[in-house]
Structures are given as structure tokens and as C-alpha cells.
Amino acid sequence: MNSTEQAPTAVVPTSSTHSLGERLTQWLGGGWVLLFLVALLAFFTITQPGRFATGYNLSTLAVDAAILLVLAVGQTYVIITAGIDLSVGSVLVFASVVGTQVMLALSGADGATYGTTDAGWAVIAIGTLASILAGLLFGVINGLLVSYARIPALIVTLGTMGIALGVAQLLTNGQDVRAVPQILVDHVGNGAVAGIPVLVVIALAVALVAGIILHRTRFGRWVFAVGSSSEAARRSGVPLRAQIIKVYAIAGGLAGLAAVMSVARFSTTTIGGHTADNLATISAVVLGGTSLFGGIGSILGTVIGVFIPIVLLNGFVITGIPPFWQTVAMGAVLILAVYVDQLKRRNRILS
């Protein structure tokens, strides 16, 4: 979807050239996505009183969204550059396998497949670093192939999606690693800070930092510039290839971080549990107002978009609706979001 051969007609405007009202409209995906999310919350609250809008269920919703949000933040950067990353779910799985196996080896429990270990924070820190580096590796590979080999991002990441998952299965013989440090599960997977789950705190911190970088730094301006017009960005002095590599590296590194979060929550690598993460992140990003054509997007919009599939699935489960309908509903909403995006793009071209 990304191409370094786009022919621009004008220098890219940044978000700073828009009025506050225009930026707010962009941040909220045109407003309708936020209203749709509020409508969903209201519907399930009214139809399932005492079951949906409870402290426990709302906390569960937030934790469910945390891992997806970290992945979606990286996807946001990629899509703003007019790219796409189908490999994030598989890279998460690969990184989780690398991270847990490093933790097992350092804790003296190498080869264990079940239970928990008594590994300390030093071991967990090294394992986390290994997981993030594993994600970075695939991110850099994606970026190199897209920027230097000029292979379409759709094809590159479709290929690395299969490679990452296949290597993870080879390393574990297709079996989940269920031996993880107990304190990782207790303090990160199930822990809380001031009543807020640690996983949610991590996800919000990632979103906050990513939002500041995207909207308040030169690097962020370059991300928008590449997506709006790669050739104009190059002529303006943007190191195009390096920028694309960095964006995919961010997506890969965040997949590595999400891998540790997933292991902490589920006490396992969940090799078969992230096959739909790529489409879920793309849906969240597009629903949040980021354009598949590049050059437009925000982290705040992605935060809102992430909750739509999470609320749908949770609400369907509580109301007794088969969860398969969630896929149908999400597909319809995603098509609507892309259609709205196309209408906006046509209006921008006409104006």
C-alpha cells in the first residue's frame, strides 16, 4: 500500500495549518465514531442493567483493549505513511516466544512448558528487551523491503506474517510456552496502580508518548509528510527510506512490548490467539479516523477506535449473542468507515 514513487502535486500541509475545530474533527474521526461508541455503551448498559456497566466488566473492557491499543498505535504510524502492516499479530507471537524462552533460560527452567517460575525482575527485564528486539527485527525487515526493494507493504507484511508465525511454531513445536515468571503475572498481568490495571497504565503511557511524538515533533511531521506525498517529502529534505524503516520498526517494537503484556495477562504465549490482531488493529485505526490513503490520523482517534470491537464482543457475550456476529458487525462498520474516508478524500480533492 506504501510506495516511494508517488507523484505529488504540492507540499504537504501539516496538522498545524488547520484550525482547532478542524483538528478536533480529525482527531475524533469526524465525530461519528465517538458517537457510535457512546451509542454502543448506552445500548448494552440499558439492555443489560447490572451486568454491562459494572466496575468489574468495565475494568475487563479496559484490559482487553490495552494489548490491542499498543499494537494499534504502531499500526497508526504505518497507515499514516500510506502503508499497512499485516504482520503485527504474528510478530507478537514470535516475540512472546523469544521473550519467554529467554526468561526460562536465565531462570534455570529452560525446557519447562507448564507452571510458573521464580525468576526475578532482572530476568524479566532481559526477557522483555529480547521480546522488543525480536519485534524490532521484523519491523526493520518490513521497512527495508518496503523502502529499498519497493515491494508493496501489503505483500511484504503478508509474507513476514507467515514467517514470524512459522518460526514461532518451529521454536516451540507448535506448543504454547506456559511457564512464565510468577511476579510478571501477579504484578503486571493482574496488578493495579491506584486501582487502574497495570496493563491499562502501560497502554495509556504508550499512547500518550506516541501521540506527543506524532503531533509535536519533527519526526511526527515527517510521518504525515510521507503519507501525504512521499515525493514532495523527499524534495523537502525528509529522509524517505529511513523514515519508512523507522515507522515499521516502531510497529514491530510495540508488537514486542504487547507480547510481554500478553504473556503477563494469559500466563502463556497464546500462539494461536492472535491470528485476527492484524485486522483488528487496522479496523481500530481506520475507525479512529486515520486514512488508508495516508497523511491523516491521530492516536486519540485510534484509542476510540480500539474500543469498538472490544465493546461489541463483550456486549455480545453478555447478551448471549453468538460472538461470530461480532465479526459480521465489525466488517460492516469497517466498510462504512472506509466509505466515509473515501468521501472525505473526494471532498478534499474537489476543494
Taking only the tens place, the pLDDT of each residue in 41-63 is: 999 999 988 899 898 999 999 99
**What DSSP character marks residue 14?**
P
Q: Is residue 7 part of a domain?
A: no
Q: Is residue 334 part of a domain?
A: yes
Q: Is residue 86 part of a domain?
A: yes
Structural domain count of the chain: 1
- What distance in Å separates the CA atoms of residue 315 and residue 43, rounded to the nearest whole number? 9
**What DSSP character marks residue 24?**
H
pLDDT tens across 92-132, in order?
A: 999 999 999 999 888 876 555 555 667 789 999 999 999 99
Q: Is the dihedral of CA 54, 57, 60, 61 positive or negative?
A: negative
Q: Which amino acid is at 98?
A: V
- What distance in Å separates the CA atoms of residue 96 and residue 121, rounded to the nearest whole number? 17
Q: Is residue 3 part of a domain?
A: no
Q: Is residue 9 part of a domain?
A: no
The overall longest dimension of the chain from CA atoms, in Å, is 65
Q: Is residue 6 part of a domain?
A: no
Stretch 194-198: mean pLDDT, rounded? 93
Q: What is the pTM of this model?
A: 0.86
Tell me the pLDDT of the chain averaged across its residues.
Answer: 86
Q: Is residue 341 part of a domain?
A: yes
288 touches 304 (CB < 8 A): yes
Higher pLDDT, 163 or 342: 163
Q: Residue 50 is part of a domain; what is its CATH number?
A: 1.10.3470
Cell 509528510 locates to: 225
C-alpha grid cell, residue 29:
474521526
Residue 310 pLDDT > 60, yes or no?
A: yes
Structural domain range at position 179: 15-350
pLDDT tens across 78-97, in order?
A: 999 999 999 999 999 999 99
Where in 130-212 does DSSP place strands (E)? Answer: 180-181, 192-193, 196-197
Q: Is residue 10 part of a domain?
A: no
Q: Is the dihedral of CA 210, 213, 215, 221 positive or negative?
A: negative
Q: Please report the pLDDT score of residue 14 as a whole number.
A: 44
Degrees (nearest 5) of the Cα angle 138, 139, 142?
85
